[in-house]
Chain A
Amino acid sequence: MKKLMLALATTAAVFSLAVSAQAQEKLKACWVYVGPVGDFGYSYQHDQGRLQVEKALGDKVETKFLENVAEGPDAERAFERLAREGCKIIFGTSFGFMDAELKVASKFPDTKFEHATGFKKSDNMAIYNARFYEGRYVLGQIAAKMSKSGTAGYIVSFPIPEVVMGINSFMLGAQSINPNFKAKIVWVNSWFDPGKEADAAKALFDQGADIIVQHTDSTAALQVAEERGLKGFGQSSDMIKFAPKAQLTSLVDDWGPYYISRVQALLDGKWTSTDTWAGIKDGAVQLAPFTNMPDDVKAMAEATTKKIADGWNPFTGPVAKQDGSEWLKDGQVAPDGELLGMNFYVKGVDDKLPQ
């Protein structure tokens, strides 16, 4: 009996050694998504980034993801599970994962964590985000040039700084072309509800807007624009297939280069806890090809994109707040900290910010 036990124990030990040896060959990189990878929007784009990592680093990595993970305390279990399974680097891709991820990060000091769009950082938790507002400034300029009624419809999800920043940047861009430009703003209070987004687009068009902008995830609004023969902008992915005659351009997230560089850094043993806010310059924010517009508008859009890529910040003074009081002096550039906590509108936005 003893012999048998010993044999069993030895086999088990050998087996576990073999397994761990195999595991060490590949670096395990893991992702946690808030939505389904099939949303063709935010989570879809993060997953495209993961696939780029697999493609670029090939045999050196093994990837894994968890989708549809609810924000808040539930997320803690997801992160802990991945850490226990031997993930060496874990990317949490939604704002609401912040506290849960930080907590798990403190329990697993040897695992590297990365959190998107948040502001809490630790020795083994880096943060990263993309300057989508840079692209939205260009959208604003195009909208002001292309709109006949001088009014855009803007479909938004939740009043968080990221969204408010986008509205403000869009308006600054539009006002730089047409100082009287208006945007009608509709909050749908959801990131993802194609039907509701389509309804909002219809309501906005019915009320005289002729260009649609969105900060929600589906292609529904753009499809309505296509049906009505009007124009709009895509979001997260290039949505030209859904609206070949309506899409002017699309604000595309490309997380791939960042993910590749971070996993590579870990492979090289050079990973440090950083704070990255990448924009058009770094390729994290891209504008899909400018279509359905005259050449002069296209040239203007390209020039502005280049100007921003060269380092100009759309939030450069003079900029006044909605009530007319001064926010940025002439030539003053908004500090990142203020943008990340933005909870006010700039002058000319016709909406009351939900608090």
Chain B
Amino acid sequence: MGMLEAILLTIATASTPLLIAAVGELVVERSGVLNLGVEGMMVMGAVTGFGVALSTGSPWLGVLAAILVGALFSLLFGFLTLTLVTNQVATGLALTLLGLGFSGMLGVGFVGLPGERLPNLSIPVLSDLPLVGKLVFGQDPIFYLSIILTAGVAWFLFRTRAGLTLRSIGDNHGSAHALGINVIGIRYLSVMFGGACAGLAGAHLSLVYTPQWVENMTAGRGWIALALVVFASWRPWRVLAGAYLFGAISIAQLHIQAIDLDDLAFLPGPLYWIAGLVKSVPSQFLSSLPYLATVIVLVLISRNKRLTMMNTPASLGRPFVPDR
């Protein structure tokens, strides 16, 4: 069963950055702001995390710096869209482009240097338990953080008064404003939370997933996180399910490619036949499977129009200028 455990560990590592970035963006969108700059904030987090960890020797400081830079970088987006009321879509795209370019410039000196890796949790006895040991007690700290973060956001949004206020702004900023709620202030906070999460996700990439810095190392993960938020119909636990489904399918397709049919000879006839069929599918198609699965789930979800409407923040992406 060592192999199953190894596969599950790989899936957890692949899913964690998606989950963190998506949970952050979920809060932003719940407050009615659409920030398409996730990829840019993430890559800024990655370069900061790597650089700080390398120069101080402490990956923990790297993580902290990444969170901080992610939040600061998103503040730029916040100032433009909330205070100057620029177009959110265009500003978000600009943030992504800026992040990709700027991180490349900052990271010139880090290329080709091996970095620090955030050590995995290791608890005597518990981490060595068969099957569950590594999975539950032996992963990287950011993995645990991602689960706590999801639970925290779910609790905050749906079990607290502050969460209700945030959601009300996302649903109707005009009414919220009329009730005396500080719409702009709260949106600033949620945008910064989203930025901090994206920064943390970036730090996971450059300090845990693949401890190195290379330009564009996020390779589109910020966009997947954005899609996951819609996929999850703005619900935190569904984001977790979506991130892990995405991770699982992308890892499974690699395993399908690598597996030798002769090793599966023990399977009963029909199962063996199915395995052979799956194996004969071209790899390009397998690579697109995670995206295809996303589309299928989106279609299934949108079948129920009423439910979709109920979950979608009604003011999402709409500019807000307080009445004078």
Which residues of A does B touch, CB under 8 Å?
35-36, 38-41, 44, 153, 182, 184-190, 192-200, 202-204, 206-207, 209, 218-220, 223, 237, 241-242, 350, 352, 354-355
How far does the alpha carbon of A192 sit from the alpha carbon of B210 in the complex, in Å?
Answer: 13
How far does the alpha carbon of A43 sit from the alpha carbon of B107 in the complex, in Å?
Answer: 16
B239-254 vs A: 1/0 string, CB under 8 Å? 0000000000011001
From B3, B258, B259, name the one whose CB has the most chain A CB atoms within 10 angstroms.
B258
How far does the alpha carbon of A35 sit from the alpha carbon of B282 in the complex, in Å?
Answer: 26
Contact B250 A187 (CB under 8 A): no
Residues of B within 8 A of A (CB-CB), count: 38
Contact B210 A195 (CB under 8 A): yes
Residues of A within 8 A of B221 (CB): 195
Q: How far is the CB of A287 from chain B (nearest CB, A)?
A: 19
How far does the alpha carbon of A237 sit from the alpha carbon of B280 in the complex, in Å?
Answer: 34
Which of B111-119, B167-175, B303-311, B313-321 lies at the interface?
A: B111-119
From B3, B205, B257, name the one whose CB has the most chain A CB atoms within 10 angstroms.
B257
Q: How far is the CB of B266 from chain A (nearest CB, A)?
A: 15
Contact with B205, one of A184, A195, A202, A350 (Cβ below 8 angstroms): A195
Residues of B within 8 A of A186 (CB): 254, 257-258, 283
How far does the alpha carbon of A189 sit from the alpha carbon of B112 in the complex, in Å?
Answer: 23
Residues of B within 8 A of A189 (CB): 283-284, 287
Given A38-B108, A184-B260, A220-B210, decide whether A206 and B10 contact each other with a Cβ distance below 8 A: yes
Number of A-B pairs, beta carbon distance below 8 Å = 118
Apart from A199-B254, A206-B7: 7 A-B pairs, beta carbons within 8 A: A40-B111, A40-B212, A195-B14, A195-B209, A204-B254, A206-B255, A218-B210
Given A193-B219, A202-B6, A207-B258, decide whether A237 and B112 contact each other with a Cβ distance below 8 A: yes
B254-281 vs A: 1/0 string, CB under 8 Å? 1101111000000000000000000010
B1-37 vs A: 1/0 string, CB under 8 Å? 0010011001000100100000000000000000000
Q: How far is the CB of B275 from chain A (nearest CB, A)?
A: 14
Contact A194 B108 (CB under 8 A): no
Q: How far is the CB of B189 from chain A (nearest CB, A)?
A: 30
Residues of B within 8 A of A241 (CB): 112-114
Give chain B interface residues in 12-70, CB to chain A under 8 Å. Answer: 14, 17
Given A195-B210, A242-B212, decide whether A354 and B254 contact each other with a Cβ distance below 8 A: no
How far does the alpha carbon of A284 sit from the alpha carbon of B27 in the complex, in Å?
Answer: 52
Give chain B interface residues in 91-123, CB to chain A under 8 Å. Answer: 104, 107-108, 111-114
Residues of A within 8 A of B10 (CB): 199, 202-203, 206
* Residue contacts A-B, CB under 8 angstroms, 21 given: A38-B104, A38-B108, A38-B111, A39-B215, A39-B216, A40-B112, A40-B214, A182-B260, A185-B257, A185-B258, A189-B284, A192-B214, A194-B209, A194-B210, A195-B209, A197-B210, A198-B209, A203-B254, A219-B212, A220-B210, A352-B280
